[in-house]
Amino acid sequence: MNRALTLDDLVLAGIALVAGLVAAFLLRIVMRWLGGHARRTRWSGDDVIVDALRALVPWAAIAGGAASAAALLPLTPTVQHHVDQTLSVLLIFVATGTAARVIAGLVRTVTQSRSGVAASATIFVNITRVVVLAMGFLVMLQTLGISIAPLLTALGVGGLAVALALQDTLANLFAGIHILASKTVQPGDYIRLSSGEEGYVVDINWRQTTVRQLSNNLVVIPNGQLAKTNMINYTRPEQRLTVLVQVGVGYDSDLEHVEKVTTEVVAEVMAEITGAVPDHEPAVRFHTFGDSRIGFTVILGVGEFSDQYRIKHEFIKRLHQRYRTEGIRIPAPTRTVALQQGSAVIPHPRSGDDMVVHQGGIDPL
């Protein structure tokens, strides 16, 4: 020490510490008030900033009080240096965590507010958080007097070995970035893979894509596999889509009347059922002279993929009831039995294949 420690030094140092604590308490109250004000605004980014600063500002006040107390005490240069380093590391640690929360929160806010960006996809949020924390760690090492140049060199040399050991992980990471950047798949889309998995995309992170099926089960798909497989996206380029329902009527039906009745049922379903497209133009297209019926396709409009099941359910019920009321017949499949001298052609009771009945037994045709 340059001089002896006195009671006045301790009193002044104590006052500085208490002042820092009081300032931290008051700033905490101020930040809470700002948080309430931020929640009333339309932009959610200010909520993220205020929530992160609520942890940084009080710690900064405490560190400032501790630094002032250390400056008032007659400490040796070595002790003073260690105290300053400790306080600096503490502030860098808190500031790095705060910066990671703020930037990651802002990235999440931006992605959720834009439909063309990866809404709720955590891959960008995680990458941002890791980059900020890594930068804060390097600054902390530099503050402690540890040279980061050898560390960066070692990381550069060891990066090749790490990349070789983590080929699958890195492939999934870059595949996820590619998927999001190309905008072929975004969280909220309904997709179906060539392997049969289908559902709503819940999230795309650094390793995998999570898909929620209509049965509410989760399917986890590695990003690399998702990038290589054939896939149908039922949400893009637009969420509305059309579904086809196959119908058939008897040959004795008046097709003009059938088309008119079917169109009326389609218009009724489109106007009354939740999830339908009210401005969808009803469409009926005859296409086949079948064995026992004239086949045609009814085109329905739905708001999104999962709505089709409810809409087809209501359409078939109402169309069946309306056909019964109008006397329109939907014939069942029939088979003609041809009788020959000494034999008969009859349908197989299980497979439907024709068989010949004769005096010696039964043979398939």
Give residue-wise pLDDT tens across range 92-120: 777 787 777 777 777 777 666 554 444 44
What pLDDT does 152 receive?
A: 64
For residue 267, give the nearest of 277, 256, 252 by alpha carbon: 277
Residue 284 · residue 246 · CB < 8 Å: no
Q: How far apart are CA 64 and CA 24, in angstroms?
A: 10
Kindly list the distances between the CA atom of residue 340 and the CA atoms of 64, 127, 344, 353, 361, in Å, as whole numbers in the listed order.
Answer: 109, 79, 5, 18, 15
- Token duo for residue 87: 């306080």
Q: Kindly report, residue by residue over 152-180, the tens digit of the pLDDT.
A: 666 665 665 655 556 677 777 778 777 87
Q: How far is CA 292 from the centre of its chain?
A: 47
Residue 252 · residue 237 · CB < 8 Å: no
| DSSP count for the chain of H helices, then E strands | 9, 12
Q: How much of the chain, in percent, has pLDDT values that exceed 70? A: 74
Q: Has residue 9 got a pLDDT over 60?
A: yes
Peptide bond into 77 cis (omega under 30): no
Q: How confident is the model at residue 45 (pLDDT cuts 50, 70, 90)?
A: low
What pLDDT does 176 receive?
A: 79
Average pLDDT over residues 226-255: 90
What does the mean pLDDT of the chain come to? 77
Which of 78-82, 159-163, 233-237, 344-348 is most confident?
233-237
Q: How far apart are CA 112 and CA 12, in angstroms?
A: 51
Q: Kindly report, residue by residue over 318-336, the tens digit of the pLDDT.
A: 999 999 999 999 888 776 6
Poorest-pLDDT segment among 103-107, 248-252, 330-334, 349-353? 349-353
Calculate ∠ Cα 270-288-264, nearest 5°.
20
Kindly list the distances between the CA atom of residue 264 and the CA atoms of 89, 242, 296, 323, in Å, as whole numbers in the listed order.
Answer: 74, 17, 16, 12
Average pLDDT over residues 190-218: 88
| Cα distance from N-terminal residue to C-terminal residue, the chain | 113
Q: Has residue 351 got a pLDDT over 60?
A: no
Q: Has residue 362 got a pLDDT over 50?
A: no
Specify the pTM. Answer: 0.54
